[in-house]
Structure 1
Amino acid sequence: MLNAIIVDDEEFARSSLYFLLQENCENINVSGIAKSVAEARTLLAQNAIDLVFLDIAMPGENGFELIPQVQQSKAHIIFTTAYDQYALKAIKANALDYLLKPIDIDELKESVNKASRYITMSKNGENRSESLQNLSASLNERNEIRKISLPNGQGYSLVSIDDIIHIEADSNYSVFYLANGDKITVSKVLKEYEEILPDNQFVRIHKSSIVNLNYLKEYNSKNGLEVILKNGGKLAVSRRRASDFADKVRAYTSFDGDKATSN
């Protein structure tokens, strides 16, 4: 059994989530329900909690302000939220779980199962703590995402986006090629990262590849339009993405020859 708390300022949201958990998640024991971050802090201090269902938008302190106490308790968080484009992007970038309201039963079950598996092999607490700290920083600054968490088989690697050279699709996986020569394969499709990464720096040039314009050395049309990266890699640009690619390069460079050469 996992001991959980529900944190939400809306009475209907609290009671409906409690009902869904009671009816569908036999391995969850709801140890307490809080309508504010202050009440949640008390529950975390007084109980051994494994899992926190945490609303984001609440009056006074928002859900993210509970993160330090959750880290201390080493509990796993599932964020519950109405749609907020920036917050969701930051949560996804840090590979953290979330449920959109109104909560879907199947998505709830899936999130609880993932949390259960994670808590069972919870030697990766340090990685998750780093991800939560990065999330807090991203949300405080509300700037572009600068780091993302990538599952690496042992836990999570927190990677600076400036160290990503390019990403290639491999069926339902995405393979990250990093500046230090490492490769990390993640069981998520390329589109998820296309939505997370800043589109003024990362460009989808093909259905199977995204490139970081920082590493663009040359692009030419000798063998059909292709890009040559600073690590020597060569990637095709699809015809339907060629115009968007050219526009992004034009906006990103001054065409002084230092970053890209057009042939």
Structure 2
Amino acid sequence: MLNTIIVDDEEFARSSLYFLLQENCPDVHITGIAKSVAEARNLLTQNDIDLIFLDIAMPGENGFELIPQAQLNHAQVIFTTAYDQYALKAIKANALDYLLKPIDIEELITAVEKAAKLISLSKQENNRNESLQNLASSLAERTEIRKISLPNGQGYKLISVDDIIHIEADSNYSIFYLSNQETITVSKVLKEYEEILPDHQFVRIHKSSIVNLNYLKEYNSRNGTEVVLKNGEKIAVSRRRASDFAEKVRSYTNNSDK
């Protein structure tokens, strides 16, 4: 049996993965479930853990920050992530794996089988530290995402970042406005998406707004600085962000002309 923990800040993600493992991976024993890296550290301290299903994007500490503890415990890591990133290839290059949400059953089974083989090998050799260090280094240099999975209460909606026109904050929620005129509301704050979306393409122009420069039609300062998007939407640019926004537009325009 593989003593396993699930680490994810989203309740739906935790419960759905737990169910999938119970139904399809009989060699996996769920030792504990954590909502944060801090809770996961406690589980690793108190238990002999073989395998960690680890979300990457979590408030506070992200999944990468658990890797040193995983090293100490000689635990294998399968990343679970809503973000399709090129650098995730680095995980496979280091003989680990990742699962893109929503999790596919066949991919889950394959990942667990791979992890079981690696765990058996690591127990014999006890030399996975170097691979984990390479993984952490590779992921620290991860490139920009091109797809994103948005939790919608019943599951996930996978979209291309190029289809996002702008994102609006609504208290602790973020509302995505898409090129097909669809809107999606997710229970995550705007700052989380500001940090992971390509910063040369997406700009925070106000405390409550991020815009995709691909959809910028014009901007002016007639009534205070505002942008006009290709869908006709007009959005104010805050005074303290105006200079950074103008610089991002210049850089974006110069790169587009090349």
Task: Check whether the contact 2:7–2:52 (CA below 8 A) recurs between aligned residues.
Answer: yes
Matches within 5 A, 1:82-231: 82-122=82-122, 123-126=124-127, 128-142=128-142
Q: 1:155 maps to which residue?
A: none
Are residues 26 and 41 of structure 1, via their aligned partners in 2, closer, same or farther at CA, if it must alter by over 3 Å? same
Aligned-pair distance for 1:10? 0.5
Q: 1:10 maps to which residue?
A: 10
Pairwise CA RMSD? 1.8
> Does residue 70 of structure 2 align to residue 66 of structure 1?
no
**Which region of structure 1 is more displaced relative to structure 2, 114-123 or 44-53?**
114-123
Are residues 47 and 77 of structure 1, via their aligned partners in 2, closer, same or farther at CA, if it must alter by over 3 Å? same
Q: Give the Cα–Cα distance (whole angstroms) in 2 for the partners of residues 80 and 32 of structure 1.
A: 16
> Does residue 52 of structure 2 align to residue 75 of structure 1?
no
> Does residue 33 of structure 2 align to residue 33 of structure 1?
yes
Q: Give the Cα–Cα distance (whole angstroms) in 1 for the partners of residues 35 and 95 of structure 2.
A: 26
Query: Equivalent residue of 2:57, what SS?
Result: coil
Aligned-pair distance for 1:49? 0.5
Q: Give the Cα–Cα distance (whole angstroms) in 2 for the partners of residues 19 and 44 of structure 1.
A: 22
Aligned-pair distance for 1:37? 0.3
Query: Equivalent residue of 2:54, what SS?
Result: strand
Residue type of the alignment partner of 1:83: Y
Query: Equivalent residue of 1:52, what SS?
Result: strand
Query: Equivalent residue of 1:70, what SS?
Result: helix
Task: Check whether the contact 2:5–2:34 (CA below 8 A) recurs between aligned residues.
Answer: yes
Residue by residue over 1:241-263, the C-alpha shift from the partner in whole angstroms, topping out at 9 and shown as x without a partner, is xxxxxxxxxxxxxxxxxxxxxxx
Query: Equivalent residue of 2:83, what SS?
Result: coil
Poorly superposed stretches of 4+, deviation over 6 Å: none
Q: Give the Cα–Cα distance (whole angstroms) in 2 for the partners of residues 51 and 97 of structure 1.
A: 12
Residue type of the alignment partner of 2:2: L
Aligned-pair distance for 1:91? 1.9
Identify unmatched segments of 5+ residues in structure 2.
144-258
Residue type of the alignment partner of 2:103: I
How many residues of Structure 1 are paired with residues of Structure 2 in the alignment? Answer: 143
Q: Give the Cα–Cα distance (whole angstroms) in 2 for the partners of residues 78 and 124 of structure 1.
A: 20
Q: Give the Cα–Cα distance (whole angstroms) in 1 for the partners of residues 38 and 86 of structure 2.
A: 25
Are residues 15 and 141 of structure 1, via their aligned partners in 2, closer, same or farther at CA, if it must alter by over 3 Å? same
TM-score, normalised relative to structure 1: 0.51
Are residues 11 and 65 of structure 1, via their aligned partners in 2, closer, same or farther at CA, if it must alter by over 3 Å? same
Identify unmatched segments of 5+ residues in structure 1.
144-263
Task: Check whether the contact 2:88–2:139 (CA below 8 A) recurs between aligned residues.
Answer: no
